[in-house]
């Protein structure tokens, strides 16, 4: 198996590493999540004083809030190598065993979407997390034999958008369990300003704040919007981004003042007009607007719920009065 270990310190001169350079390397550079950062300083500092590995950590919350970035920060603070793996790619116990057997002392294994690994794979994780061993079965039926392989102490960092989908035995084996919260406008503005320095295209403070206001409280979206606004600015020969080019770019991208895009609008208008505000099942709604169920559930609905524009009930999705008011739709006409 190819060794995918990565050093968290990246070369900013490499064009292919631009996405990675947006990631801060230390807790001091990491914007937001202040309570979590303060706790991590203690956990990391104590582990280093004892010359131990950091306890296994579970990070959960909506996508784009910085779970992967935080894993890089932890690896840098612990002066450890990090290996990134996607949960769905681990299909069989042997896949995980192969990954675990390549870990070195103190290494960090980051499993994104850990809720999507099969239950049979979880069983390999239990002894690995608790006792740093993996049990390997060879042969079949009467010839089957099990032997144990010792692992060096390591830290598992799991990330998930659906903590409820993790089995209790797996969830209980994480010593540190933390939720990442949505970001404030001020925090997102800082992130946009930092991103503008990385990409060497300055942005005025009011323009950075405008992007922050339309970023759905999510750093990943803030960075993505900045890069697209930067495209518009560079195309029109702007050497920096001011409020005018920013607002014109956002208008062209059809991102409204509270961060709703075309899919959000299609979702809500279909719910309000075609289905009379609901309740309607997500599968029916996804089919009506031509979107994937998982994409709606994990990417779009968390923000619509945060805004108070929809309710999720046992009978399906329902539009709220706030949604009708935002789109100036008469609640009683449908």
Burial class (CB in 10 A: 0-12, 13-18, 19+), 264: buried
CB atoms near residue 247 (< 10 Å): 16
DSSP 3-state assignment of 26?
coil
State the catalytic residue, choosing from 107, 112, 171, 218: 112
Asked about 146 being catalytic, the answer comes back as no
Catalytic choice (67, 83, 230, 317): 67
Paired strand residues for 6: 82
Quick check: is 68 catalytic? yes
Question: Which distant-in-sequence residues (6+ apart) come within 8 Å of 163 by Cβ?
Answer: 58, 60, 115, 171
55 is catalytic: no
- List the catalytic residue out of 160, 161, 195, 201: 161
Concerning whether 320 is annotated as a catalytic residue, the answer is no
Residue of 220, 228, 273, 274 with catalytic role: 220
**CA–CA gap between residue 333 and residue 158 (Å, rounded):** 47
Look up residue 188 and give its two tokens.
Answer: 């997102």
Give the integer Cα–Cα distance in Å for 250 and 269: 21
Query: Could you tell me the two tokens for 291?
Result: 């979107």
* Residue 116 falls in the annotated catalytic set: no
Please give the Cα distance from 315 to 324 (Å, whole number).
20
Q: How far is CA 61 from CA 27, 65, 128, 182, 212, in A?
A: 19, 7, 25, 9, 19
Active site residues: 67-68, 112, 161, 220
């Amino acid at each position: 198996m190819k060794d995918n270990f990565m050093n968290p310190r990246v070369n900013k001169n490499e064009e292919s590493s631009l996405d990675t350079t947006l990631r801060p390397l230390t807790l001091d550079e990491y914007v937001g999540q202040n309570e979590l950062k303060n706790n991590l300083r203690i956990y990391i500092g104590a582990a280093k004083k004892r010359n131990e590995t950091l306890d296994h950590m579970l990070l959960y919350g909506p996508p784009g809030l910085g779970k992967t970035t935080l894993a890089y920060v932890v690896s840098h603070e612990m002066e450890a190598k990090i290996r990134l793996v996607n949960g769905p790619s681990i299909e069989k116990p042997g896949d995980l065993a192969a990954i675990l057997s390549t870990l070195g002392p103190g290494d960090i294994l980051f499993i994104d979407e850990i809720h999507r690994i099969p239950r049979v794979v979880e069983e390999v994780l239990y002894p690995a997390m608790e006792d740093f061993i993996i049990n390997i079965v060879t042969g079949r039926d009467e010839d089957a034999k099990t032997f144990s392989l010792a692992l060096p102490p390591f830290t598992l960092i799991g990330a998930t958008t659906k903590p409820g989908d993790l089995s209790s035995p797996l969830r209980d084996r994480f010593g540190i369990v933390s939720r990442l919260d949505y970001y404030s406008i001020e925090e997102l503005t800082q992130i946009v300003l930092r991103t503008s320095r990385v990409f060497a295209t300055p942005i005025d403070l009011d323009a950075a704040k405008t992007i922050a206001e339309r970023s759905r409280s999510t750093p990943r979206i803030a960075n993505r919007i900045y890069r697209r606004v930067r495209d518009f600015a560079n195309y029109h020969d702007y050497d920096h981004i001011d409020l005018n080019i920013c607002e014109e770019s956002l208008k062209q991208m059809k991102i409204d003042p509270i961060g709703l895009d075309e899919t959000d609008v299609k979702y809500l208008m279909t719910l309000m007009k075609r289905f009379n505000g609901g309740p309607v099942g997500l599968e029916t709604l996804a089919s009506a607007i031509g979107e994937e169920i998982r994409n709606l559930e994990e990417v779009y609905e968390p923000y619509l719920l945060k805004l108070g524009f929809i309710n999720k009930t046992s009978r399906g999705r329902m539009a709220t009065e706030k949604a009708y008011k935002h789109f100036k739709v008469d609640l009683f006409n449908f």
